Amino acid sequence: MPKIILPPRSAQRQEDTWDIASVFPNTAAWEAEYQQVQMELPAFEKYHGKLNEPTIMAEVLDAYFQVTTRAQKLSMYAELLTSVDTSNEEATALISRAATLNGQVSAALAFIKPELLANGAEKLSQWANSDSRLAAYTHYLEDLLRLQAHVRSPEIEELLGALNDPFTTTHSVMRSLTGAEIRFQSATSSTGEEYPVAQGTTVTLWSSTDRETRRTAWENYHDGYLAFKKTLAHNLEGQIKQNIFFARAHGYRSALEARLAVDHIPVEVYHNVIDTFRRNLSTWHRYWALRRRVLGYKTLHTYDLYSPLTTQLPALPYTQAVDLIAEGLQPLGDEYIQILRRGCLQERWVDIYPNQGKRLGAFSSGSPGTHPFIFMSYDDSLKGMSTLAHELGHSMHSYLTWQTQPLVYSDYSMFVAETASNFHQAMVRAHLLRTRLERDFQIGLLDEAMNNFHRYYFIMPLLARLELEMYERVERGEALTADILNGLFADFLAEGYGSEVEVDAARDGITWATFGHLYANFYVFQYTTGIAAANALARSILASQPQAVERYLAFLRTGNALYPLDVLQQAGVDLRTPEPIEATFTVLADYVERLEQLTSAME
């Protein structure tokens, strides 16, 4: 493989980076806004004890969502700065200060919900129906009443709000440790070349055709985490205890119930993911067996799961990837495609390429009034194109929500967040399977699809199972140690791999520590529900079902104006049952069968 040279951040061409100056032109402007928000918080004191008439209620709610959105924008800017250069100490300081401000905002506004609820359901409903400014808050007020039993007194809510600042420390420690302080030994190829192992190079190295490069890159990466396993385990345990504390403070029976209650999701939906996954492990065992046969190995290891099944694939430069994505999404209409292309090629939504200090992974981030930015490390591959399509799904979801909804509903639940992203991938994949019939391209496309499913339909359900086990143990008063977590996850992987993949207990076991997603409690299961919903919605559009496109675009524009299960049901998929998850395992099985047919002559 070619030598990997990571340029410094300063060497990136401006047109290949996101337009962060459109958020704040510089840190001085960020500082001015920070100070302004801080200065305005005391003004909320005048509303204490006065939220008992519609006009004041509407005024304070407008101000509430405006100031929280401004604080969100400050945090988002700091996160963007540090993501592309984790060694940037100034950006790290901005993140800390933004967390402090968010804690101050939470504390200053904590009186609002208890005082609103003190009016009673009848009055709130009457006022929402009679006051035009309050009418926009009807769903918000209904949702507040639904959770009334879990809202504490203004004094307690103020105290709990103030805890948001110090309780961000565990997440900050994880980011600093994994993003900037853990050092990895270089990978070595079978011919002696060395390649730097970093958060931005692992995907490329693990997918090398040279097995020794893959092995050393994978082992050295996980060894870096193993060197800090005790610190990482204790830090995650601290995060779990914080979430359990908040759940109990608000009167919930468990942290899982508390987290899902926010989105009005029954806990059964979580268990559906784990149970359905375990019922369908035979599909994964069949796929691992296929990989082992095609690669010609007697024993398959985890580092072999990313090895390409074909090397005869064309390079896909960034602009060509944008063209292919646009072609696949054409059923959504010209306006949708024009917005997407403008964001990728003109407005600089995307920070495209890897550089020194750039963290691992990809994400979409933004705030009402900004671009829906995309962070990634594009590498001219099918995987890179798929990742770009995924993140563009998030960004288009955000863009259309922000263009449609008032601030109160301008966000959307994490439960639906992974639907639009995986929908993009499903649509583009279907288009390419239909139009690019060369055998190697088909193998490469299905191989990439299986890598994507490996992450969302294999690793994420396993992490969800681990997460539930962790929380239940801590809720019972038991301790978590690195050895316990490593042992649990190694056992879960062994079940998932069956007899086809050999488990390295220590290195496979520490996989949990490489996923910062666990600091967003009970988030990982939503990748699986998201990909299930995405495939169901894509199937309806590809089958030209009446109004399927209109229903999907309406879903993107709804934001938080409806509960997530309801907005998905209106779009055409019911995740209250395990059926969509089962149906997507059928998609997975079809991909495996296609690969078996395409690769039969290669074995």
Asked if the model's pLDDT at residue 156 lies above 90, the reply is no
Which CB contacts under 8 angstroms, 24+ apart, belong to 305-308?
A: 305/454, 305/501, 306/203, 306/206, 306/207, 306/214, 306/451, 307/207, 307/208, 307/209, 307/211, 307/214, 308/207, 308/209, 308/444, 308/447
Cβ distance 351 to 18 under 8 Å?
A: yes
Q: What share of the chain in percent tops pLDDT 70?
A: 99
Is 391 noted as a catalytic residue in this protein?
Answer: yes
Reported confidence tier of residue 512, pLDDT bands at 50, 70, 90 = very high
Between the two ends of the chain, the Cα-to-Cα distance in Å is 24
Q: What is the DSSP-derived secondary structure letter of residue 520?
A: S
Q: Are strands 187-188 and 194-195 parallel, antiparallel or unpaired?
A: antiparallel
Q: What band does 1 get if pLDDT is binned at 50, 70 and 90?
A: low
Q: What is the mean pLDDT of residues 86-107?
A: 90
User: What integer pLDDT is reported at residue 225 of this predicted model?
Assistant: 96
Q: Identify the helix (H) or strand (E) that includes residue 301.
A: strand 300-301
* Structure confidence at residue 244 (pLDDT): 95
| Mean pLDDT value across residues 330-350 | 98
pLDDT tens per residue across span 31-58: 999 999 999 999 999 999 999 988 999 9
Q: Tell me, what's the pLDDT at 234?
A: 95
**Longest pairwise C-alpha distance within the chain:** 77
pLDDT of residue 278: 97
pLDDT in tens, 403-414: 999 999 999 998
pTM of the model: 0.88
Tell me the per-residue pLDDT of 354-398, one tens digit each, with 9 for 90 and over: 998 888 789 999 999 999 999 999 989 999 999 999 999 999 999
Active-site residue, selected from the candidate residues 157, 391, 418, 448: 391
Residue 3 has pLDDT above 90, yes or no: no
Q: Which residues contact 199 (CB under 8 A, 6 or more apart)?
A: 178, 179, 358, 359, 360, 361
Residue with the larger pLDDT of the pair 151 and 141 = 141
The mean-pLDDT minimum among 162-166, 241-245, 487-491 falls in 162-166
Query: What is the pLDDT at residue 41?
Result: 96
> What DSSP string describes 344-389?
HHTS--EE-S--TTPPSS-EEE--TTS--EEE----SSHHHHHHHH
Task: Say what the pLDDT of residue 602 is.
Answer: 60
- The type of residue at 242 is Q
Q: Which pLDDT value is given to residue 171?
A: 86
Where would I find the beta strands (DSSP E) of 385-505?
501-502
One-character DSSP codes across 277-299:
HHHTHHHHHHHHHHHHHHHT-SS
